[in-house]
Amino acid sequence: MLTGNKNTSWKFFSWFFALALMLPIVVMLLGSINASSDLFSHLWATVLPEYIRNTVILGLLVALLSFCFGVPAAALISQTNIVMGKQLRWLLMLPLAMPAYLVAYLYTDLFDYAGPVQRLLRAWFDWQSPNDYYFFDIRTIGGAAVVISLVMFPYVYMLTRTAFEQQDRNLLRASRLLGCTERQSFFQMTLPLARPAIAVSLALVTMETLADFATVQYFAVSTLTTAIYDTWLGYSDFAAANALASVLMLFILFIVVAEQRARAGQRHQSSRPNTQHQRKQLSVAQQIIGSIFCWFLVFAGFLLPVILLLVMVIDYADYQQLVALIVTGKNSIEIATYTATIATSIALILALFQRLHQSRLRMFPVQISGFGYAIPGTVLAMAMLATFGPLDHAINDVAKALGFTAPGLILSGTVFAIVFAYIVRFSAIANGTISAGIEQIPKSLDLAPASLGVTTLSAIFRVHLPLLKSSILVAWLLVFVEAMKELPAVLLLRPFNFETLSTQVYQLISDERLEQGALGAILIVLFGLLPIIILNRQKDTP
Amino acid sequence: MKPLINIENLAVKLQATVILTQVDLSLAKGEILGLVGPSGCGKTTLLNTLAGFVAQSAGTIEINASNNQQIKVSTAAMLPAEQRNIGMIFQDYALFPHLSVNENICFGLKKLTKTEQNKRCKELLTLLELTDFGQGYPHQLSGGQQQRVAIARALAPQPSLLLLDEPFSNIDARLRNELMIEIRRLLKRLGMTAIFVTHNKDEVFTFADKIAVMHQGKVLQIGSPAQVCQQPNSWQVADFLQLGSWLPVALLADYNPAQVTSLIGQLAPSAIVNAPADNKRDSALNYQLLVKPNNIELCEQQGSNVIVEHIGVTEQGYHYLLSSIEKNSVLAFSQLSFYSQELFALGDKLAIKLKGEDFNLYTRTT
Amino acid sequence: MNKIWLSPLVLVALLVASLNVAATDEVNVYSYRQPFLVEPLFNEFTKASGIKVNVVFAKKGMAERLTREGEYSPADILLTTDISRLIELKDNGLLQSTQSAELSAAIPAQFKAADNTWYALTTRVRNIYSAKRLGKIDFNYEDLADEKYQGRICTRSGKHPYNVALVASMIAEHGEADTLTWLQKVKANLARKPQGSDRAQVQAIHQNLCDISLGNSYYFGNMLKDEKQKLWAEAVYINFPNQNNRGAHVNISGMAMAKYAPNKANALALMNFLVSAPAQKMYAETNMEYPVRPGVKPSKLVAAWGEFKADSLPLETIAKHRKAALILLDKAKFDL
C-alpha cells in the first residue's frame, strides 16, 4: 500500500492535522488546571447539581424525542405506502436547515403566555389570567427538548431511513418464514438491525444538545453550559469555566465511546439493498395517523417557522436590508466555503490514512480530530484565543527582533481563527461522512490498482476519490450548512466590521428585533436547503 | 396419496410484466425438486411466491402438511408468509447478524417453551455438527458453517416444505459435491420435501429427485433427471441442460417422420425418434438437430467438411469444436462438439458424418 | 502528493488574504453595545474628523479576547453597557488612564474612574414597572419581597448584568445576609421562572400574567417608539424606586481606552467626541438614556417621566459586590 517517502509524509500530515485540530482542546484542558476549588464547592453546594440534572434530563429527553420523531418517520417512509411518501421523504429533512436558536426564539415567542397563540385563545374564550386555563409552559426543559428535537430529528430520520432501506431483505423474509408477523419482524429484525445507525444519530443529536447554550437560554433552562458561562463571565474565573467545559466534553466523549462500544459487536454490511421490498399497505386509519404524524413534523420543524419568518419579511423587509445582506451573505458563504473545503480535505486525508496505512495507530488521527464537536462554540472560541494568542505573540516578537514591523494578530485576529474554530468543531461531521463512504469501497479495490501497476497515490485519485465523490459532496455540504448556521465562535473571533448572516440575525434577535433580521434568517435557511435538495437528488439517482 | 404440494395454474404479474404464467407443479412428501433455468426465467420468483413474499395474480398453491392441516393459497385467500409453515434457505443464508447461532436457530421457535427450544436447538446443532458454535455469532463462522446454521434455523420449526435458493453457490467447488450429498441424506432422513433453485444442472443431478426446467415464466418440463435428459421436450430444455451441440438442418419434406439434411450429411427418417409434433415444413423455422458426442464419427472416404476451431483436453480424450468449411449456407455451424482420442491441430480440415439412431429434432424459436 | 499539499496552501492563502494592512486614520472599537446604537455616532465622528471607526461587537468574551491579544491587540476603545465590565477590564490591567480638557469638563467625578481609566457616557435606571391597573404606587426595591406581591412579579434572569448590579447595590445597602433573604422572598413572589428580556416582562404585565417587573429605563422609551410594543408600554407605569430614601439604582454605559491602544490620538479624539454635547445628546437619545454630561438634556420622552433621585452609591462599590451578588443569586437558586 503506502510505501516509502509518501508513506511517511502522509503519516506526517495526518498526525499534523489531527494534532492541530486537537490543540485547542488540549489548551482548554491545560487551562482548567488552575481552577479554584472554592468556586466549585460553592457551585456544587448551590446550583450545579440542578444544572447537571437539567443537562442529563434535557439530553435524555432530546434523545428520546428525536427517536420518537425520527424512527417512526423513517419506518413510515421506507416501509409503507404512505400517501405522498416521495415528497415526505425529503420534506422530513427540511428542519435540518433551521438553526435551533432561531426556532427556539420563534417558538418561545409564539407559545409564551404573552405570545399570539395564548393571546388568541384568551380572546376567544374570554379567559383573564393564567389560572383560567391550562396551557403548556414552553419555557421548560420539556419545551426546550421538544423544540430542539423538532430541528434535530432529521439526523435520526435520515440515518435510520438509510439503514432501513439498505437492510438485506432476505433477513426480513427469513424472519417472516420463521413465524414473525410483519409487526414482529419490524421489532425483532428491522429495528435491531438499524441500531447502529440509530445510535450514531442519537449520539450526534445529544452532543449538539449538550454543547448548546443559545437555544436553552431562550427556554430559561439552566444546564452545564449555563454554569460554564456563569463561571467565566460572571465569576470571571476562566480556569473554572475551562474545567467545567472539560467535564462537559468528558460527558460527551462518554456518550461517543458508549455508542461505539455498543456497535463494536455488530459488523455487517448489506449485500442486497432492500429496494424492491414490498411496502406495507396501510389501512385508511393508519394512513391518516401516519400522514398526520409526518406532516406535523414537517410543519412544526420547518413550515411554521418559515411562515413566521416570511410574515416578518413581508412586514419589515426593505431594499436597504437586502443590499446590506449581500455583504454579510458573502462573508458567510466565504467562511463556510473555506471551512467546508478544508474540513473535507482533512477528513479525506485522515480517512485514507486510516484505510491505507499500515501503522498500528492509524485510527487515532480520525478519532481525535472529531473531539471538537463536543465543545460549545464560545468555549472553543476562547480556546482558540488561548492557543493562537501566544503564537501570535511569538510571531510578532520574532518579527520585531528581526527588525520588521510587527505583523499584528495574524492568527487570532483574522478570519483564520474563525475558520480554524469551525474546522475543529465540524470535522466530526466531515470525518463521519467520508469514513462511512470509504467503508463502502470494497477492500479489494485498495489492492486492485497495485496489481495493474498503478501507484497508490494515483490509485487514490483514479479509484478512491471518484468512488467517494458523493460522500465528499455530502460532507462538504453538511459542513457548509453547519458553518452557515454557527454563531458563538464567529461572534467572538471575528475581525473588525465583519458580519455574517448569523451574527446579524443574532444581534437583532438579542435586541428583540428579529423582524428586521428575518430576511437574513430566511437566507440562512435557504442555504441550508441546498444540501438537502442535492442529497435528495443523489439518493434518487444512484 | 395426496401430493404434499400442488400448484395449479400459478401466475405472477409485477407491474404489468408477466413473471410467471401457467405454472403447474406437484410434489409428493419427501421429494426434492430442482428448479433450473436461465437467469430471469422466474425460478426465484416462483420460490418467493411459494414462500409468500410475492403475491400471485392467478392460480392456487396447496400444501398438505403431515398433520392433515391443509394450507391453500389463492388470489382470493392470501396467506402471509409466517402462516405457511414453509422454511427457506437463502443464497447468502440471511443469518441474523445481531443474534448468536443459538438465537438464530431458536428464532422460529417462539411458540415452544424455553426448555423445548433448547432441546430442539441442541438436537439440530448435533445433527449439523455445530455444537461448538452455539454461542458464536454468524460473522465468526466459515461459509460452510454459516450454511449449516441456515439449515438448522430453517429446519427448527419443522416446516412442511423447505425452499432453497441457490444453496450451494457460495460453497467452494471442491466441497460442494460432498456437502450436497450430505444435505440430501439429511433431508431424506427427515423426510423433508424440498424445492431448490439453481442454475447449475450438475447440482440437480446430484441433489434432486425431480427436475423442472423453466423458461420465460413457464415450466417447460418436469420429470426425473434421467427422463428429462433422455427426452427433452423442447429446444430450450435440451439447450439449457447442454445435452449436446446443435446442428442446423433443413427439412427435406414436410411429412412425418422427418427427413433432414445438414452440411455433414443426411439422416434417414427412422433415425429421428423425436421431432416437433406438427412438422409442416416451414422455411421460416429454424430446425436444429441435437447432436450428442457419440453421434459424430470421422469418415475418410469423403472430402473434408469441417475445420478444427478449438481444442480442449478432457479425461475422455480431446474435445474439439468444429465449424463448417462452408460459411455462407444457412446451415453453416460453428460450435459442433466432437470427442476423439486422436490429436489434430488447430485449422486441420476433417471429414465427419452423423451416426446413430436416436436423434432429436427441434425448432428453435427465438 | 498534490492533494495533501493543498490544505496547508489553502490555509496560508487564507491567512495572507485576511491580513489587514494597517491604515493610519482609524480607530478600533470593541463594543459590548450593539452596533446599531453606536454606528450613527461613529458616522458623525468620521464625518467630522475623517477618522474611520472599525467596530467589533460581542456580548461575551471581549475581556478575554483583549487579555489574549495583549500588547498586539488592535483595540483602541472599549464600549460597555455595565459598570462591572469596566471594572473587570480595569482590574485585569487592560485599560490605560486618559485625560483631556474635554473629558474633565464633561464628566462629573462620580461618573469616571478615580484614575481616569474609564468614563461613563450615559446612565440608566433599574426601574420597577407596574401595571396601571394597580394605580400609582411608590415602590422601594425592598417592596418586591413583600408577600402581598406573591405570584405577581416578573423579571429576566437574575444573572443578567443589570440584575446582578441591582443585587450588588442591595448588598451595599443591607449586607449579604439580608440581601439573600430579600432574594429568596422575591423569588417566592415570582409569577414565573426568570426568563426573556426586560421588554418581555412588560409584555407579560400587559397580558395580565403579572403586575410588577424590573426593567431598565430606556426600554420604556423604546417600547413606546415601537408600533407593536407601544401597547404593552401603555399598560404600565414606569416607577423610580426608593425616592424617599437612597434613590433609584443607576448603572452606566461607559468607555475606556485599551492599555495597548495602537491609535491613541485617534482614540482620544473619539472619546472627546463622545462626551461632546451634541454626541451626548445623540447617544442618549438613540437609546433613551440619561446623558452624563451636565447640561445635556435627555430626550423629551425621557424627560417626561420626571426628575428622580439616583442612588449616590459609588459605581465602584457596585462592581465590588458583583461576585457576592452572583453567589447570593446562586444560593437563592433565583433562576431555577
* Predicted local distance difference test score (pLDDT) of residue A377: 80
Q: Give the Cα separation of C2 and B365 in Å (integer).
A: 59
Classify residue C46 as exposed, middle or buried by CB count within 10 Å of its CB (0-12, 13-18, 19+): middle
Residues of A in contact with B151 (CB under 8 A): none
Share of chain B above pLDDT 90, in %: 17
A345-370: pLDDT as tens digits? 999 988 888 887 777 777 777 777 77
* Predicted local distance difference test score (pLDDT) of residue C14: 47
Share of chain C above pLDDT 70, in %: 93
Q: Which domain holds residue A182?
A: 46-222+281-316
- Domains, in order of start, for chain C: 24-123+250-304 (3.40.190.10), 125-249+309-331 (3.40.190.10)
Range with lowest mean pLDDT among A400-404, A446-450, C223-227: A446-450
Chain B interface disruption, residue of A167, A171, A175, A178, most B CBs within 10 A: A178
Query: Does residue A9 share a domain with residue A55?
Result: no
- Residue B363 pairs with which residues in a beta bridge? B287
Query: Does residue A287 share a domain with residue A152?
Result: yes
Candidate from B81, B86, B97 with C-beta closest to A268? B97
Mean pLDDT of all residues in A511-527: 82
Query: Does residue A467 share a domain with residue A341?
Result: yes
C-alpha cell at B80: 402471509
Asked if A532 contacts A94 with a C-beta cutoff of 8 angstroms, the reply is yes
Residue B47 has pLDDT above 70, yes or no: yes
Residue B269 has pLDDT above 80, yes or no: no
Residue C4 has pLDDT above 50, yes or no: no
* Predicted local distance difference test score (pLDDT) of residue A320: 76
**Domain positions in chain B:** 5-232, 244-364
C-alpha cell at A95: 428542519
Query: Does residue A446 share a domain with residue A374?
Result: yes
Indicate the pLDDT class of residue A271, thresholds 50, 70 and 90: very low
* Predicted local distance difference test score (pLDDT) of residue A539: 56
Q: Which of residues 182-221 of A touch C (CB under 8 A)?
A: 219-220
Residues of C in contact with A58 (CB under 8 A): none
Q: How many CA atoms lie within 13 A of B353 on its CB side?
A: 11
Chain C interface disruption, residue of A55, A327, A409, most C CBs within 10 A: A409
pTM of the predicted structure, to 2 decimals: 0.80
Q: How many CA atoms lie within 13 A of B233 on its CB side?
A: 12
Residues A20, A386, A524: CA angle, nearest 5 degrees: 75
Residues C48, C54, C59: CA angle, nearest 5 degrees: 125
A266 touches chain B (CB under 8 A): yes
Residue C111 has pLDDT above 70, yes or no: yes
In 3D, which of B282, B296, B276, B259 has the Cα closest to residue B361? B276
Chain A interface disruption, residue of B107, B153, B161, B170, most A CBs within 10 A: B107
Residues A463, A536, A445: CA angle, nearest 5 degrees: 15
Query: Does residue A133 share a domain with residue A15?
Result: no
* Predicted local distance difference test score (pLDDT) of residue B281: 63
Query: Does residue A291 share a domain with residue A393?
Result: no
Q: How many CA atoms lie within 13 A of B249 on its CB side?
A: 29
Residue A231 has pLDDT above 60, yes or no: yes
Residues of C in contact with A496 (CB under 8 A): 20, 28, 54-56, 74
Query: Does residue A176 share a domain with residue A107?
Result: yes
Candidate from C10, C65, C88 with C-beta closest to A341? C10
Chains C and B touch, using 3 or more CB pairs below 8 Å? no
Q: What is the CATH number of the domain that holds A300?
A: 1.10.3720.10
B151-205: pLDDT as tens digits? 999 999 889 899 998 888 877 778 888 888 888 999 999 899 999 998 888 888 8
Query: Does residue A305 share a domain with residue A395?
Result: no
Residue A117 has pLDDT above 90, yes or no: no
Cβ-based neighbours of A276, under 8 Å, separated by 6 or more: A169
Residue C152 has pLDDT above 80, yes or no: yes
* Predicted local distance difference test score (pLDDT) of residue A450: 62
Residue A274 has pLDDT above 80, yes or no: no
**Contact: C207, A346; criterion CB under 8 Å:** no
Asked if B244 contacts B293 with a C-beta cutoff of 8 angstroms, the reply is yes
Query: Does residue A88 share a domain with residue A16?
Result: no
Candidate from A47, A137, A230 with C-beta closest to C336? A47
Nearest-Cα distance to chain A for B31, in Å, is: 21
Query: Does residue A148 share a domain with residue A95?
Result: yes
Whether residue A95 lies inside any domain: the answer is yes
Query: Does residue A459 share a domain with residue A393?
Result: yes
* Predicted local distance difference test score (pLDDT) of residue C142: 94
Whether residue A166 lies inside any domain: the answer is yes
* Predicted local distance difference test score (pLDDT) of residue A269: 47
* Predicted local distance difference test score (pLDDT) of residue C78: 94
* The residue count for chain A: 542
Number of structural domains, chain A?
A: 2
Residue C22 has pLDDT above 60, yes or no: no
C195-232: pLDDT as tens digits? 888 888 998 898 888 999 999 998 998 889 888 889 99
Q: What is the ipTM of this complex?
A: 0.80
Pairing assessment for the beta strands C26-31 and C77-80 based on DSSP bridges: parallel
C-alpha cell at C124: 440608566
Query: Does residue A57 share a domain with residue A145?
Result: yes
Architecture of the domain delimited by B5-232? 3-Layer(aba) Sandwich (3.40)
**Contact: A178, B80; criterion CB under 8 Å:** no
Mean pLDDT of all residues in B330-344: 87
